[in-house]
Structure 1
Amino acid sequence: MRVVLYCRVSTEKEAQVSSLNRQRAELMRMAEHHKMEIVDCIVEQASGYEIEREGIFRLLEYFSSRSADALLIQDETRLGRGNTKIALFHQLKKLNIRIYSLSQEGELEISESDSMVLQIVGIVEEYQRKIHNMKIRRGMKKAVEDGYNPAANLSNKDMASGRERIDFPIEEVIRLRRNKLTFKDIASTLRGVGYDVSKATVHRRYQEYVSLEKQSQSSYDNVDKGE
């Protein structure tokens, strides 16, 4: 298992610096004990209430690019405090990243109250996604009724003539692009789960999606304006 170690203190006081060094040493021992591959050890001095931390950006980049599988921390407060902690828990959960804690001597168990908040956030996010998709479908329906032909609006459509259209989850492509993965990485990910697709196919299908979404959103806006 590939892991990222994350150590944080809030000030530059001597006692805090000593704590930082201790966190790093203990996390490295934990990783070695469990035969985990250490990808990076991120150390920073910043408030746990602040989400715009360079270390957090680096940490999320490792996980978004699938360069690491799990996070090791001393305890949950090292990752963040208050709303920042909840936001990071939510993001790591979406990326399917496991969190291991020294204080719990294993995989982190989130408190009941934090778990409840995360559940609510997940429900709200899901309904936002449904509303967004509903708007797209409504706009697309209106566009077709007004004579819009999706097939006629796709670039490179002649290149696919005579070929069987490969079926793969475009929703996963969109999610991975939002996580900053390249089309090459997305194609590799899809092939890893059984979809025989090339980078070019993934890129073309993504452009189709973007084109359709723009068109349907435009039609939806026109409906709202009464046009």
Structure 2
Amino acid sequence: MELLTISKAAKRLGVHPNSLRNWEKQGLIKPVRLPGGQRRYSMDDLNRLLGSGQVLAGGQETVVLYARVSTKKQAEAGNLDRQIGRLRQYAGENGFTVRAELTDVASGLNQKRRGLTNVLKLAERGEYKKLLIEYPYRLARFGYEYIERHLKYCGVEIIAIAEKEPEDAQAELVRDLLAIVTSFSARLYGAGGGRKVREGFRELIAEVQTGEEAKEEQKESSRS
């Protein structure tokens, strides 16, 4: 009987080693334990498990879809549904099997998002190989590289399917900047001072936007 290490068994099946550990916890497979406690898997057991249809072969094609909008208004306007729809289409066109569709209605600064938490949990259990998102900031406004590194450690690749950011991306960035400024200024100057700084920052952004719009108008005039 041929016995394989967990890494070789996972490579043979095209899954992450965590998938084998997870299947063991679920009682779907029972590896042979060596005197030192190491796991060994027989090919007969692995083939029997895959043939039962209880698990998905070719785990490298299994994906999770993640979409996020920052406000309830955006979700009610259908932005979240359209975002998921585009991810579904991409998954279908590339022959991926969707393990889960996860969404959040929250700021990209919020680190306690339920959808994001489940993205990480499923990755840690080795249940998918690719994470589909539209843009990196949908996953996180800051700290994206840390999430990417953790997912890579779990054997998950992030795929951002869109090339050009949507028109509402700048508006969301402004909201996030306001949230950051308010948080830090409130700590430094108190709640009242924080509000004043926020108002001043909002006015500054409005002035910058007005100036940019004026420049664009001048460019258009010179072209005509």
TM range (shorter): 0.3 to 0.5
Per the normalisation by structure 1, the TM-score is: 0.43
Q: Which has the larger radius of gyration?
A: 2
Per the normalisation by structure 2, the TM-score is: 0.44
